[in-house]
Amino acid sequence: MQGRITKFSNTVGFGVIEAENGSKYRFAKTEILNLNGRLVGHTVDFEVAARRPKDIILMTGTPWTAFGGIGA
């Protein structure tokens, strides 16, 4: 599923993703596989399990920045 991060608080480590279908999902920073600076505004690809996003990938930069750190 794809969406965009609309809110994020570094203080609590949680944010909100608005999916393409209009659904909103609360996520934890620990679910992001390729952290890259400021999160609000990033387009993301993610899976949903038990109504929670997981395996969130920021879709910015080159493929190396998007997927380079996975599995490290």
Position 60 scores a pLDDT of 76
Burial class of 22 by CB neighbour count within 10 A (0 to 12, 13 to 18, 19+)? exposed
Euclidean distance between CA atoms 9 and 61, whole angstroms: 23
Check: pTM over 0.85? Answer yes or no.
no
50-to-25, 36, 54, 68 alpha-carbon distances in Å: 11, 26, 10, 27
23 sits in which H/E element = none
48 sits in which H/E element = strand 43-49
Q: Structural domains in the chain?
A: 2-64 (2.40.50.140)
Give me the average pLDDT of each 10-residue run along the chain (72 residues): 96 96 96 90 94 91 57 53
